[in-house]
Amino acid sequence: MPPTGLGLVPKPLRLHLRRGRFTFDATTAIRSTPGTGPAALLLRTLLAPATGLPLPLADDGQVVLALDPGLAGLGAQGYGLTVSEEAVLLRAAGPDGLLHGVQTLRQLLPAAALSTAPAHDIPWSIPCLETTDVPRFAWRGAMLDVARHFQPVAFLRRFTDLLALHKLNVLHLHLTDDQGWRMPVGAYPRLTEVGGVPHGGAYTREELTGLVAYAADRGVTVVPEIEMPGHVRAALAAYPHLGNFPDRRLDVWDRHGVCDTVLGVHDEALDFCRAVLGEVMEIFPSPYIHVGGDECPTDEWHSSPSALRRVAEQGLAGPEELRRWLMDRVGTYLTEHGRRPLGWTESGDDLPKSFTVMAWREAEHGLAAAREGHPVIMTPHRSTYLDYPASTHSDEPPGQPGFTVDLPTVHATDPAPDHWDPADAAHVLGTQAQLWTEYVPTAAHAEYLLFPRLCALADTAWSGGRDWDGFRARLDHHKTRLDALGVPSRPSTIHLPERNTR
């Protein structure tokens, strides 16, 4: 069992302390063996601002980074770390494992090493130890809704760094919704001209490709989400002919809740979906492309002549089946281009077989999806939605009404519980947190809601989250790292919006 005094989050699989310490100083160099250049660069980049240490590359460097095929049993993300008084050896079978090991080295140093400001008169030493570390789940992520409230790319990069520190490896960007459209599409410029105006703006193609590269350097995959066929009011405000009533003029939705405006199912709408997703795939190399699929009212389809024609042409039982029909067409398009379609499931059996699903309503829906053969990412709202308040305290900032998701609840979440059949549990890829931003206008507000609850999810996703007392002890120390990073810890430190009464 790892000693809690080190305060490592997430908890390593195995760790043994030894006597003595290794000290990084002006003479310390890195020996970067073939294939380890990105990890060496990351280590130097992350430590330089606070420590001022040059950490040059040298054949006789004391910090040795190595790719070792002999560690294939640790998978693509595991690593081994050995620290003696004379040297540090970080090994992994793959590059991502090395990047995770770099984050462990950061956490072993004094918390001031995480600051962006120079720190003086601090011995940059770490304890001698040996650890073998591997995650329980391959998918460990966080979703950030930038459609309801836009966040600048500088914050997305900072958020990526915070994810990587906690060995979270997926940044799921919710780029479009009723309230905004944040991704440029060359063939449809009004998407951002109209949908990018409310609450902040839109990203450029260069900003998004730059973010993808920045995240990859830290072992984080950016997974884009383009919502359809519901949650598309911003797109239809820009291009009404893509909806069910081309002559109806719409505005970008400025309210919370579910808008009843949905995408049409005629050929022009299908061409739109393919064009948008084609550009998405150019920008985002992620194996997974999220296409939403949730909260899709069917009222418009019941009264739309083109939708009713589609029902008749396809021999569907009724307009209620158009959602699945459209998702099947979209999923096929992505699959034909070598990508894996990803969507929100609301029952476990409501998406085509080709989809990887996120079970957000109930954990039981994840089990149902697994039994249907879907790869599953567990995202049940009562334990992973961090836009719900963390407590009932009077000074807690406004959030989604209905539930409170406190720290123990997040930590207790088990993506593949013991009572599941092992064959069903094998379909679970992992878990992620969600931050919807109806009530979250600023980056500081977002960070306050995310932390330390995201630390709890990271612990659960990596090591199983079965040791609450141990996690609390480790978190007490880990909070000094969050403080060094400037993560807000009190409501009084952030700008809170007026409470929305609609």
- The residues annotated as belonging to the active site are 177, 231, 295
In angstroms, the CA 88 to CA 14 distance is 17
Contact of 87 with 62, CB cutoff 8 Å: yes
Task: Say how many C-beta atoms besides its own lie within 10 A of residue 122's C-beta.
Answer: 13
List phi, psi (to 5°) of 250: -120, 160
Rounded CA-CA distance 22/124 in Å is 8
Q: Using omega within 30 degrees of 0 as the cis cutoff, is the peptide bond preceding 287 cis?
A: no
Q: Which amino acid is at 390?
A: A
| DSSP state string for 294-348 | -S---HHHHH-HHHHHHHHHHT-SSGGGHHHHHHHHHHHHHHHTT-EEEEEESSS
Residues 145 and 172 sit within 8 Å (Cβ to Cβ): no
Burial 283-296 (b: 16+ CB within 10 A, else e): bbebebbbbbbbeb
Number of residues that make up the chain: 502
The values of phi and psi at residue 425, to 5°, are: -60, -30
Cα angle 339, 314, 360 (rounded to 5 degrees) comes to 45
Q: Give the C-alpha separation, 245 to 266, whole Å.
A: 11
Phi/psi at 352 (5° precision): -60, 160
